[in-house]
């Protein structure tokens, strides 16, 4: 068994590695988002959606799906 002091060092080291991975991941995500914006994609809706809860996203998706189905049925008439 590791001594408590040693275990603390290991945990701190693991935390530092994890933080560095998260920072790198965020950097790559930011670069990809910037590439999408440069390409002409409006990412504002994606950003807004990130701040919504899962249930709110599902409800909004269901509304969109219902609307698409209504339009599909109206096209057949």
> 55-72 pLDDT, tens per residue?
999 999 999 999 999 999
Q: What is the pLDDT of residue 56?
A: 95
Cα 19 to Cα 10, 12, 28, 32, distances in angstroms: 14, 10, 14, 20
Query: What is the reported pTM?
Result: 0.47
Q: What is the pLDDT of residue 1?
A: 46
Question: How far apart are the C-alpha atoms of 27 and 21, rounded to whole Å?
Answer: 10
Q: What is the mean pLDDT of residues 10-21?
A: 52
């Amino acid at each position: 068994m590791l001594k408590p002091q040693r275990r603390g060092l290991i945990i701190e080291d693991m935390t530092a590695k994890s933080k560095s991975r998260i920072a790198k991941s965020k950097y790559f995500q930011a670069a990809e988002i910037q590439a999408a914006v440069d390409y002409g994609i409006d990412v504002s809706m994606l950003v807004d959606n990130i701040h919504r809860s899962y249930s709110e996203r599902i409800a909004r998706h269901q509304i969109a799906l219902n609307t698409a189905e209504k339009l599909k049925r109206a096209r057949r008439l």
